[in-house]
Amino acid sequence: MSSVSTFDIENYLKERRALIDRSLDRYLKESKERPKTIHKAMRYGLFSGGKRLRPILTLAAGELFGGRQKALLPFACALEMIHVYSLIHDDLPALDDDDLRRGEPANHKMFGEGIALLAGDALLTEAFHLMSRPQVARLLEPGAILELIHEISRAAGVGGMVGGQAVDLEAEGREVDVATIEYIHVLKTGALILASVRIGATIAGAAPKEMRQVTRYARLLGLAFQIADDIMDMADHAGGDGKGGKKATYPAVVGIAAAKSRARELLSQCLKEIEVFGKKADPLRGIARIIVERAL
Amino acid sequence: MSSVSTFDIENYLKERRALIDRSLDRYLKESKERPKTIHKAMRYGLFSGGKRLRPILTLAAGELFGGRQKALLPFACALEMIHVYSLIHDDLPALDDDDLRRGEPANHKMFGEGIALLAGDALLTEAFHLMSRPQVARLLEPGAILELIHEISRAAGVGGMVGGQAVDLEAEGREVDVATIEYIHVLKTGALILASVRIGATIAGAAPKEMRQVTRYARLLGLAFQIADDIMDMADHAGGDGKGGKKATYPAVVGIAAAKSRARELLSQCLKEIEVFGKKADPLRGIARIIVERAL
């Protein structure tokens, strides 16, 4: 596949990441950034070296079908705000109780539990504030924007990400089977990754058949991503701090080798779904490879 | 004022409360109500005997200008979901650490901190899911719905309710002046009460002058409501459990007598703003009287 070897995915990701960072910064600056402390906590969460996977998926899926960056960016950034809020809440003592996030103090370790909780609430709310701006309604049909907000709120809410976190929490410390783990993954991380891809394609006006293709790509990618993440997490905690074994994860149930082989299989299925788009799908292809292959 | 004495506000509130309860129940049932536990926690928060002040204000302001209940209800219920989520998060140990809410165990005492946190997140997200439904877009212009979502997300977010909670949290245990307390109130409870009234009037198509009148009514009401609430809270905790003195409140700074006189003054200003609407404004008038006079 020469199309993959000639496309510089690292550079693509770097450029898109910078674009997302600039846009998030601009959106925040356009509000007064008051009260001060909670805004600091929101910024600390937003600008702490995330991969920007979800917003880049929105851009990449949108670009594949000729979408305009200007129309894609508010939704891409809203999806990132939702993702970041979920990380801040996830790290709280009430849930995962993690003191560190990407090697730095978690939000509640920097600002206290109360401000961290509120910063998460604020980011979630801000995502909807961003998507409903008059500036966005000048770029897209208001009715179409409502449909996007509806899809994103389903993916982020009790029928998606938050529901998955709840089931995950209840599964903690219990024996779970592979079907339950996949159910948790589909909700907890899959729903928002799926929405990220679909939102981009929808904004760009993808045809129904194309929507079905990128939807299948995103479903497979979401599952592969979570398994890859869990494999790396297990490796990180192999020293025995106990955290690697706390959660209901795929490698914990089927073993590392079987988990890797499942991730490899999902990646190849996922790439097959977008084969038809040729070189234009190089970004989507590169993203899938990078996030799965790092764990193999 | 014979118009007040002949209008049965108690009965009006009872009827509207029942209407809100039925609507909230229906909206929840229309989703699958899975996963189970988090839905139980959401229901526990939503149906625990709240006054339904915010959604009733939306209905009352909407009815004043001839708005249709069918179009008002999704927004009224979304505002209540946002209010309930804020109570659930507020009661968590990270913020107020209250074990009881209206004499019953707080959400996290019933379901654990993790599920309570997530139930709050889910209710906030569900509010936006509700307002962006296709059914709502058949009743109102999509562009107008986006403006309503934009206003509600500003009132609920960092520039409103959540921002106010953050400033309140930082003020805890510090000496604060009356100006700071009023600033906290305007954000923390005022913004959502203001939005509740304005959203109703906007949906009903109130004229710009009418919007200004109900906006002033709502601003004054919001402040009077919070002072009344703090007066009653102080009386509740007079026995000396320490909770009444923990927070930056109006009566704690100026004393009960001055707080009551300020509440009375705000109520009378607030009633003056809607005098021009005559008997049609009896519900808005009755609501203002009831929520302030209970503390006098």
Flag whether pLDDT at B1 surpasses 50.
no
Average pLDDT over every residue of B126-148: 98
* Segment A114-132, tens digit of pLDDT: 999 999 999 999 999 999 9
Is A117 in contact with B121 (Cβ distance < 8 A)?
Answer: no
Is B113 in contact with A121 (Cβ distance < 8 A)?
Answer: no
Instruction: Tell me how far apart the alpha carbons of residues A229 and A245 are, in angstroms, rounded to a whole number.
Output: 14
- By C-alpha distance, the chain B residue nearest A151 is B129
Mutate to test the interface with B, among A32, A125, A167 (most CBs of B within 10 A): A125
The range of the structural domain enclosing residue A203 comes to 2-293
* Segment A64-79, tens digit of pLDDT: 999 999 999 999 999 9
Cβ atoms of B196 and B215 within 8 Å: the answer is no
Model confidence at A5, pLDDT cuts 50, 70, 90, reads low
Q: What is the pLDDT of residue A2?
A: 45
Taking residue A286's Cβ as centre, other Cβ atoms within 10 Å add up to 19
Amino acid in position B141: E
Domain count, chain A: 1
Amino acid in position B111: F
Paired residues of A104 in beta bridges: A101
Q: Is the dihedral of CA A224, A228, A233, A234 positive or negative?
A: positive
Quick one: tokens of A46? Answer: 């937003």
Is A125 in contact with B157 (Cβ distance < 8 A)?
Answer: yes
Residue A162's nearest CA partner among A184, A146, A181 is: A184
Average pLDDT over every residue of B190-196: 98
Instruction: Tell me how far apart the alpha carbons of residues B13 and A137 are, in angstroms, rounded to a whole number.
Output: 37
Q: What is the pLDDT of residue B242?
A: 47
Amino acid in position B273: E
Helix spans in chain A (H): 2-6, 9-30, 36-46, 53-64, 69-91, 107-111, 113-131, 134-137, 142-156, 161-171, 178-185, 191-203, 208-236, 243-246, 250-254, 256-273, 282-293
* Segment A139-182, tens digit of pLDDT: 999 999 999 999 999 999 999 999 999 999 999 888 889 999 99
Q: Nearest by CB to A121, which of B37, B154, B162? A: B162
Q: Nearest by CB to B122, which of A117, A132, A157? A: A157
Instruction: Tell me how far apart the alpha carbons of residues B111 and A212 are, in angstroms, rounded to a whole number.
Output: 39
Region of poorest pLDDT, from A182-191, B4-13, B70-79, B218-227: B4-13
Q: What is the ipTM metric for this complex?
A: 0.95
Average pLDDT over every residue of B195-202: 98
Flag whether pLDDT at B34 surpasses 90.
no
Flag whether pLDDT at A245 surpasses 70.
no
CA distance A20 to chain B (A): 21
Instruction: Tell me how far apart the alpha carbons of residues A215 and A61 are, in angstroms, rounded to a whole number.
Output: 10
The CA–CA distances, whole Å, from A178 to A161, A175, A262, B36, B191 equal: 19, 10, 12, 20, 46
Average pLDDT over every residue of A252-279: 96
Q: Nearest by CB to A162, which of B121, B128, B165? A: B121
Domain of B203: which CATH number?
A: 1.10.600.10
Q: Is the dihedral of CA A160, A165, A170, A176 positive or negative?
A: positive
Is B149 in contact with A132 (Cβ distance < 8 A)?
Answer: yes
- By C-alpha distance, the chain B residue nearest A153 is B129
How wide is the angle at C-alpha A289 spanned by C-alphas A286 and A291, nearest 5°? 105
**Alpha-carbon radius of gyration of chain A:** 19
Categorise residue A262: left if φ over 0, alpha if ψ from -120 to 50, beta otherwise. alpha
* Number of alpha carbons in the 13 Å side-chain half-sphere of residue B259: 26
Average pLDDT over every residue of A32-61: 95
Is B150 in contact with A143 (Cβ distance < 8 A)?
Answer: no
A-chain residues near B158 (CB < 8 A): 31, 35, 38-39, 42, 122, 125-126
- Give the list of residues 6+ apart from residue B95 with CB closer than 8 angstroms, or none: A114, A117, A118, B89, B165, B169
Cβ atoms of B4 and B278 within 8 Å: the answer is no
CA distance A88 to chain B (A): 12
Flag whether pLDDT at B285 surpasses 60.
yes
Paired residues of B101 in beta bridges: B104
* Segment A10-42, tens digit of pLDDT: 999 999 999 999 999 999 999 888 899 999 999
Q: Please, what is the average pLDDT of chain B? A: 93
SS3 state of residue B105? strand
Q: What is the pLDDT of residue A189?
A: 96
Model confidence at B28, pLDDT cuts 50, 70, 90, reads very high
Express as a percent the part of chain A with pLDDT over 90: 87
- By C-alpha distance, the chain A residue nearest B146 is A132
Model confidence at B236, pLDDT cuts 50, 70, 90, reads confident
CA distance A232 to chain B (A): 25
Instruction: Tell me how far apart the alpha carbons of residues B2 and B104 are, in angstroms, rounded to a whole number.
Output: 39
Q: What is the pLDDT of residue B4?
A: 47
Paired residues of B105 in beta bridges: B100
A-chain residues near B34 (CB < 8 A): 159, 163
Helix spans in chain B (H): 2-6, 9-30, 36-46, 53-64, 69-91, 107-111, 113-131, 134-137, 142-156, 161-171, 178-185, 191-203, 208-236, 243-246, 250-254, 256-273, 282-293
Instruction: Tell me how far apart the alpha carbons of residues B179 and A162 are, in angstroms, rounded to a whole number.
Output: 38
CA distance B277 to chain A (A): 32
Model confidence at A246, pLDDT cuts 50, 70, 90, reads low
